[in-house]
């Protein structure tokens, strides 16, 4: 894993003050209980192609603010965002909250923790 700059980590810490975060177990519990939400992978296209969580949709961090309203016009939609480890998705969730998506949630641990726990992934 690459080492993140202190300025980047500070930005992520600031974003985390404004958003809700859950762990993978909580997301799985939400799914098991039938709670309605959209699981959004915000990583780069090559990361998505190499493997992603089942049932996830892809909206890259570079375009999520531009494209979210066309795909999910209801700002009450619960969006659970993930990336590799939870940093980029925290920044994306923060921007979505600023845009009025109060149910934008960061899934901490992201893809790396998902695979570390041995959960299945989808390729392609």
- pLDDT for res 105: 98
Number of domain units in the chain: 1
Domain for residue 73, yes or no?
Answer: yes
pTM of the model: 0.94
- Confidence grade of residue 56 (pLDDT, cut at 50, 70, 90): very high
Domain range spanning residue 62? Answer: 21-116
Q: Is residue 15 part of a domain?
A: no
CATH number of the domain encompassing residue 45 = 3.40.250.10
Q: Is residue 71 part of a domain?
A: yes
Q: Is residue 16 part of a domain?
A: no
Q: CA-to-CA distance for 91 and 106, rounded, in angstroms?
A: 9
Q: Are 101 and 16 in contact (CB under 8 A)?
A: no
Q: Reduced to 3 states, what is the DSSP secondary structure of residue 87? A: helix
Question: Rounded mean pLDDT of 71-100?
Answer: 97
Band (pLDDT 50/70/90 cuts) for residue 1 is low
């Amino acid at each position: 894993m690459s080492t993140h700059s202190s300025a980047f980590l500070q930005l992520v810490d600031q974003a985390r003050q404004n958003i809700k975060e859950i762990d993978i177990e909580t997301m799985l519990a939400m799914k098991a209980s039938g709670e309605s939400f959209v699981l959004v992978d915000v990583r780069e296209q090559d990361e998505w192609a190499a493997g992603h969580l089942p049932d996830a949709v892809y909206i890259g961090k570079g375009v999520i603010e531009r494209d979210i309203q066309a795909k999910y016009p209801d700002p009450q939609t619960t969006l659970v965002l993930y990336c590799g480890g939870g940093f980029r998705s925290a920044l994306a969730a923060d921007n979505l909250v600023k845009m009025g998506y109060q149910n934008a949630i960061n899934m901490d641990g992201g893809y790396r923790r998902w695979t570390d726990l041995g959960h299945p992934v989808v390729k392609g």
